[in-house]
Amino acid sequence: TKLNDWYSQCLPGSSAPPPSTTIPSTTPGSTPTTTGDTSPAPTGCPTLPSNPTLRSNSFLPDPFTFYDGTKVTTKAQWACRREEISQLLQKYELGTLPPKPSSVTGSLSGTTLTVNVSEGGKSISFTAGISYPSGTGPFPAIIAVGGISIPRPSNVAVITFNNDDMAAQVNSGSHGQGKFFQLYGTSHSAGAMTAWAWGISRIIDVLETIPSSTSRIDLSKLAVSGCSRNGKGALVAGALETRIALTIPQESGSGGGGCWRISDKMLQNGIQTQTASEIVGENAWFSPNFNQYVNQINNLPVDHHLLAALVAPRALLVIDNTGIDWLGPESVWGCMTTANKVWKALGVGDSMGVSQVGNHNHCAFPSNEQGDLSAFINKFLLGQSTNTNILKTDGANNLGFVESQWVNWQVPTLS
Ligand code: MCU
């Protein structure tokens, strides 16, 4: 099929597979219930009810208005709205991210990091391989979800995370399979991507116990990257794990950088693109709780511009491909340029970039995007001063994306 043709281009050597959580409620002025999301829990936030009323909204939901109608007017309030968006995304799409388990230990032996986790009388262990540049470091590092697919920068280590081992992604029946589910039970609500994000957090937990003179990793300079399905996973990890400084999803498409609402419209217009309704039948990336919403996406108070916005004000570079309809290029462009408004409002518009280029195979990084990638790596991992004001597509006429059809809110200047 057309899909399999391009699908087989990625993940070299891989056997290409065929294509009621409750939100912890908060009381006014209180700290939200702890989840695994690593941002410090903000206080004094508006209340999110445990069962929010769903209201139909064909526009991309306003990042700057809380569920209860309160407006975000200050940068400090973003921490509260970010927490609310995280809770909503976990409730409707991603499943619950468990907090740090009671026991996380591990060690580094040569280039193999071992992670041991125990919780509730159960234990798992997994390993991650680290590939170092020459020298003593400590080095910035890219956590590569399922392997690295962008060109590897010099002077940066690569930590390879075996995401399939943590939560399987063979098909829609994969939910419940993998080490995460050995620990938390096969009926845990987490989708595979949430389980991967949890696993990446445990790698960072263990690295935090090792002096940087020994680990040779600079934990203040961590990135995460992955391509395609693993690019979706990289975006979710960067969204939920605030110890990651730079998030680089590559060709993540629908379920990653694309917005469900825009992808639905593309399909209605006859473009063969992936939608929420398709994705839950294809794989186990999302929580089973998402299934009930995939044919009523307009009712959700979130979309993926808000998934990306969880990364703000940290750095995000979305690398994408205009040449593959299945990835939803219009959706990714519209969704991610809309997400950029959050960084702009926070006064750091150039900490979030989009680079969308066609005429190359899926997950084959084109040389004409190297400058954009290097600008982000050099600034956010290597501490250089570069121009990261990058919002660009080679698609004509914004690929058909008309902002006024999707954005019915104002971007505040946050004090
Ligand atoms: C773009 O990511 C996925 C896509 O969502 C799937 O529909 C397709 O089967 O596989 C893509 C992928 O991961 O390619 C390697």
Instruction: Convert the pLDDT of each residue in 36-57 to its tens digit.
Output: 888 888 898 999 999 999 999 9
Residue 260: name the closest of 338, 189, 358, 341 by CA.
338
The pLDDT of residue 370 is above 50: yes
d(C-alpha 4, C-alpha 19), whole Å: 7
- Residues acting as catalytic residues: 228, 362
The pLDDT, as a whole number, for residue 237 is 99
Residues 317 and 248 sit within 8 Å (Cβ to Cβ): yes
The pLDDT, as a whole number, for residue 29 is 45
The pLDDT, as a whole number, for residue 26 is 37
Question: DSSP string covering 99-143, please?
Answer: PPPSEEEEEEETTEEEEEEEETTEEEEEEEEEEPPSSS--EEEEE
Q: How far is CA 189 from CA 79, 169, 214, 237, in A?
A: 25, 15, 37, 17
The pLDDT, as a whole number, for residue 30 is 40
How much is the mean pLDDT over the chain? 93
CA atoms within 13 A on the CB side of 224: 31
Residues 75 and 346 sit within 8 Å (Cβ to Cβ): yes
ipTM: 0.97
For atom 1 of ligand 1, which residue has the closest CA? 228
Residues 106 and 118 sit within 8 Å (Cβ to Cβ): no
Cis peptide before 133 (omega within 30 of 0): no
Using a pLDDT cut of 70, give the percent of the chain over it.
Answer: 92
Distance, CA of 97 to chain centre: 13
The pLDDT, as a whole number, for residue 22 is 36
Question: What is the atom index within ligand 1 of the atom nearest the CA of 16?
Answer: 15
| Residue of 2, 7, 320, 331 with the most ligand 1 atoms within 8 Å of its CB, for mutation | 7
The pLDDT, as a whole number, for residue 174 is 98
Question: What is the atom index within ligand 1 of the atom nearest the CA of 282?
Answer: 7
Strands in 315-320's sheet, in edge-to-edge order, are 103-109, 112-119, 122-131, 157-161, 139-145, 217-227, 246-250, 315-320, 352-356, 391-393
The pLDDT, as a whole number, for residue 41 is 81
Instruction: Convert the pLDDT of each residue in 186-243 to its tens digit.
Output: 999 999 999 999 999 999 999 999 999 999 999 999 999 999 999 999 999 999 999 9
Cα of 341 from ligand 1 centre, angstroms: 27
Q: Is the dihedral of CA 327, 330, 335, 336 positive or negative?
A: positive
The pLDDT of residue 101 is above 90: yes
Using a pLDDT cut of 90, give the percent of the chain over it.
Answer: 89
The pLDDT of residue 127 is above 90: yes
The pLDDT of residue 112 is above 90: yes
Cα of 161 from ligand 1 centre, angstroms: 18
Predicted confidence band at 183 (pLDDT cuts at 50, 70, 90)? Answer: very high
Cα of 297 from ligand 1 centre, angstroms: 21
194: Cβ contacts below 8 Å, ≥ 6 apart: 90, 94, 95, 96, 97, 236, 240, 287
Q: Which amino acid is at 253?
A: G
DSSP conformation class of 151: P
The pLDDT, as a whole number, for residue 25 is 37
The pLDDT, as a whole number, for residue 38 is 87
Q: Which amino acid is at 323?
A: G
Question: What is the atom index within ligand 1 of the atom nearest the CA of 9?
Answer: 15
Instruction: Convert the pLDDT of each residue in 325-360 to its tens digit.
Output: 999 999 999 999 999 999 999 999 999 999 999 999
Q: Which residues' Cβ are closer than 6 Å to ligand 1? A: 7, 10-11, 19, 228-229, 253, 255, 274, 282, 327
The pLDDT, as a whole number, for residue 8 is 52
d(C-alpha 75, C-alpha 86), whole Å: 17
Nearest-Å Rg of the Cα atoms of the chain is 20
The pLDDT, as a whole number, for residue 125 is 98
Predicted confidence band at 24 (pLDDT cuts at 50, 70, 90)? Answer: very low
The pLDDT, as a whole number, for residue 36 is 87
Cα of 394 from ligand 1 centre, angstroms: 22
| Residue of 2, 11, 229, 361 with the most ligand 1 atoms within 8 Å of its CB, for mutation | 229
For atom 5 of ligand 1, which residue has the closest CA? 229
Q: Is the dihedral of CA 390, 393, 397, 403 positive or negative?
A: negative
- pTM equals 0.94
The pLDDT of residue 276 is above 60: yes
The pLDDT, as a whole number, for residue 34 is 57
Predicted confidence band at 245 (pLDDT cuts at 50, 70, 90)? Answer: very high
Q: Is 127 exposed, middle or buried (0-12, 13-18, 19+ CB in 10 A)?
A: middle
